[in-house]
Amino acid sequence: MVVLNRIYTKTGDAGTTALGTGERVSKTSSRIAAYGTVDETNAAVGVARTHLAGSDPDVDAMLLRVQNDLFDLGADLCVPDKGQKLPYEPLRIADAQVSRLESEIDLMNAELDPLRSFILPGGTPTGAALHIARTVSRRAERLMVELSNEPGETVSPPALKYINRLSDFLFVASRYVNGRGKGDILWVPGKNR
């Protein structure tokens, strides 16, 4: 259980922060950028949920599961796997979380007509908010891949799969809440030339 009695500790005043291993790193490190952007994705999903306002409890439940998964992903990223012995078992993203996302994508996508064009982000406020969450999750993915390519750094394959699948999930969810795709705004190439 997490207990937060003090909100400020002053330990980061010099521009460093602690990883889950206790190691202190710069707040500009690639690892901090990656899990900070995962946190930003979580906040964007939270905003999207406020737009649902009870209109689709099934989608809201899916998004709540995503928010919990994103905290798991942040926990995974804040404890780098460098083969060190830790006094606890670090929380890691599991393949089952990826599989659940895939199932939920398939469930929503089954009710959508196939796309014949790219779509513009928008539609309903919920759909637009989910598109914002999707683009933030794509940025998190780029940062996680960048981190995984750094010498001496690792990101677990399930974590990379999860963040990749999440943007697909958010795309399908945006179409789903946009009237099952009926409210999609189609891109018309060269329309304003």
Q: Quick check: 100 and 37 in contact, CB under 8 A?
A: no
Q: Which is it for strands 185-186 and 119-120: parallel, antiparallel or unpaired?
A: antiparallel
Higher pLDDT, 25 or 161: 161
Among 43-52, 80-89, 139-148, which stretch is predicted with the lowest mean pLDDT? 80-89
Q: What is the mean pLDDT of residues 109-129?
A: 94
Q: Indicate whether 1 pLDDT > 60.
A: no
Q: Quick check: 106 and 82 in contact, CB under 8 A?
A: no
d(CA 148, CA 152): 9
Higher pLDDT, 133 or 26: 133
Q: What is the mean pLDDT of residues 103-113?
A: 97
pLDDT of residue 153: 94
Q: Indicate whether 185 pLDDT > 70.
A: yes
pLDDT in tens, 14-52: 787 777 777 887 788 999 999 999 999 999 999 999 999
Q: Quick check: 130 and 105 in contact, CB under 8 A?
A: no
Residues 6 or more apart whose Cβ sits within 8 Å of residue 84: 21
Q: Indicate whether 126 pLDDT > 90.
A: yes
d(CA 122, CA 100): 26
Q: Which is it for strands 119-120 and 24-26: parallel, antiparallel or unpaired?
A: unpaired
pLDDT of residue 24: 84
Q: Indicate whether 13 pLDDT > 80.
A: no
The per-residue pLDDT of the chain, averaged, comes to 92
Residues 6 or more apart whose Cβ sits within 8 Å of residue 26: 15, 16, 32
Q: Which domains does the chain have, with CATH numbers?
A: 26-77+104-110+118-181 (1.20.1200.10)
Residue 147 belongs to what H/E stretch? helix 125-148
Q: Quick check: 38 and 140 in contact, CB under 8 A?
A: yes
Largest CA distance in the chain: 62
- For residue 39, the one-letter residue type is D
Q: What is the dihedral of CA 30, 170, 126, 112, to 10 degrees?
A: 170
pLDDT of residue 23: 82
**Would the pTM of this model clear 0.75, i.e. be above it?**
yes
pLDDT of residue 123: 92
